[in-house]
Amino acid sequence: MTPRIIRRAAVLLAASALLLSGCAATPAPAPGPAADLRLGYFDNVTHAPALVGVQKHFFTEALGDTTLSTQIFSAGPAAVEALSAGAIDAAYIGPSPAVNTFIQSRGASATIVAGATTGGAALVVREGITSAADLSGATLASPQLGNTQDVALRSWLADEGYTTSTTGGGDVLVSPTDSSVTLSLFQAGKIDGAWLPEPWVSRLVLEAGAHVLVDEATLWDDGDFPTTVLLVRKDFLRDHPETVSALLAGHTASVAWLNANPAEAAEAINAELLADTGKALPDPVIDRALEHVRFSIDPLAATFPMSLRAALAAGIGKDGDLDGLFDLSLLNAVIADAGGAPVSAGGLGKQ
């Protein structure tokens, strides 16, 4: 072989190597804890475990060298969109958006790793509406199309014989609206009521003269229904289980603190609300809101098939298999280390 041929072969080999390196798959994440954890939550009382976890540094203490960053959302579908796009790694969220993303992705997008809050949602209405029969032709708000309260409202209305539409119309008009705008619209007399989570229920009652027509707790056995769960991107859980375990340690510490310190809960929640939004809730509002919620790491997995049926009846989302929706194995490991009893996945995943 001549020197010229040898040189040419070397150039071709080098070029091939460059092409191969350019086409190579993205390197797998380094094993071990993640460098960063991006956490989403709402500035709602129903997300108090997130608020207190940040305010009391339960998350940062548990995460160690992993840097925590947070992002605030106003409703579940927007948080799910960010999670699905890889913009955040975990989120406190309502059951309906969690179920919807799981089914839409055929189980590939995210998984529920813990419960957070139960209760704390209601339909509040204006003076003159005293029963379901008074709602024909009414305009009612929900936080966002397809969020947990939107599904609850549409499902309840269907049970009462009313039709609704996701595009407007029906016997009762359901208008998905940001909760802060809902308060203003109700005060201006432009809507007749809304199905909302706390503290918005209490704000409309105490600041706008609304009254509760339906406390959602009355629609569930024993009054227990999940309002907020902790959802994690599936690939983040796969790549960084140590970090998710640390997040769960911080989460369980926050829930435990809330349950052990009810007299101090309002102050801690308000401190984080002030840091996030520049405004705290009035004492009567937050006190009333806390009377209607309970904090628990149990996601009440057995209720999720019922939530799915309610969404389908309301014309939201699509049917699908919920097997694998939960992975409570890391949570139960944290619980076992503390000497507690395991939490059930209700046959819908790992525990």
Structure tokens at 215: 């406390």
My answer on whether 154 and 245 are in the same domain is: no
My answer on whether 253 and 344 are in the same domain is: yes
Model pLDDT for residues 82-91, shown as the tens digit of each residue: 999 999 999 9
Inter-residue contact 112 to 98 (CB < 8 Å): yes
Q: How far apart are CA 36 and CA 39, in angstroms?
A: 10
Inter-residue contact 198 to 44 (CB < 8 Å): yes
Q: What is the pLDDT of residue 315?
A: 82
The CATH number covering residue 177 comes to 3.40.190.10
pTM: 0.87
How far, rounded to the nearest angstrom, does the alpha carbon of residue 81 sit from its chain's CA centroid?
12
Place of tokens 């809902």: 182
Inter-residue contact 113 to 328 (CB < 8 Å): yes
My answer on whether 201 and 332 are in the same domain is: no
My answer on whether 127 and 106 are in the same domain is: no
My answer on whether 307 and 344 are in the same domain is: yes
**Is the pLDDT score of 193 beyond 90?**
yes
- When divided into structural domains, the chain yields a total of 2
- Whether 19 is in a domain gets the answer no
Containing domain of residue 283, as a range?
36-120+224-350
Contacts of residue 275, defined as CB under 8 A and 6 or more positions apart, other chains included, come to 55
My answer on whether 230 and 110 are in the same domain is: yes
My answer on whether 116 and 237 are in the same domain is: yes
My answer on whether 82 and 188 are in the same domain is: no
My answer on whether 316 and 200 are in the same domain is: no
- Whether 8 is in a domain gets the answer no
My answer on whether 187 and 63 are in the same domain is: no
Model pLDDT for residues 197-234, shown as the tens digit of each residue: 999 999 999 999 999 999 999 999 888 999 999 999 99
Model pLDDT for residues 230-263, shown as the tens digit of each residue: 999 999 999 999 999 999 999 999 999 999 999 9
Model pLDDT for residues 46-82, shown as the tens digit of each residue: 999 999 999 999 999 999 999 999 999 988 888 999 9
Model pLDDT for residues 153-189, shown as the tens digit of each residue: 999 999 999 999 988 889 999 999 999 999 999 999 9
- Whether 50 is in a domain gets the answer yes
My answer on whether 125 and 105 are in the same domain is: no
Model pLDDT for residues 7-37, shown as the tens digit of each residue: 333 333 333 333 333 333 445 555 689 999 9
User: Angle 248-297-277 (CA atoms, 0-180°, nearest 5)?
Assistant: 75
Last residue of a domain, one of 195, 222, 249: 222
Share of the chain above pLDDT 70, in %: 91
- Coil, strand or helix at 295: strand
- Whether 103 is in a domain gets the answer yes
